[in-house]
Structure 1
Amino acid sequence: MAELARATIAKVSVVVGGSLYYPDAMSEQDVARFRAQADECRQLAERAVNPLDKEAWLRLAGEWIKLAQNAEGGPRKEKE
């Protein structure tokens, strides 16, 4: 019974010292999903007519990138 309960626990993130900490390692699929979300936000920013909307989409893209970097184990430079 304890094994079943352990298997159903969702992955959670915790803020420790201002940085996200993932108790369980995130998978490459998670990182890819975060980066895909960032790309989608960038595309929506390109199509935005209102400058405030564009700024908001770009801010969201940045947050998805931070999540991906934290899930990978730390910040890294984006490929240009």
Structure 2
Amino acid sequence: MQGKLHPLPRKQIIQILQSNGFQQVKVVKGRHLKFRKQTDTEVLTTMVSHRPEIQPTIIRHIIKQSKKPEDEFY
């Protein structure tokens, strides 16, 4: 799905992150869900808003933070 991104539902972003090895981290309070993935060399962390739909610019940031190529992210 390289190229132009479209808004995606929050639930779909969460499913994509989980399928890429990210686990939700318990957060005491706040408006974002925190996801973390442990690799051999580092810990990757990203946040997902509680908004029902995630905009393309935020999706690009999530992809960048996951350190996966866009076509492998989906």
Q: TM-score, normalised by structure 2?
A: 0.30
Over alpha carbons, which structure has the higher Rg? Answer: 1
Higher helix share: 1
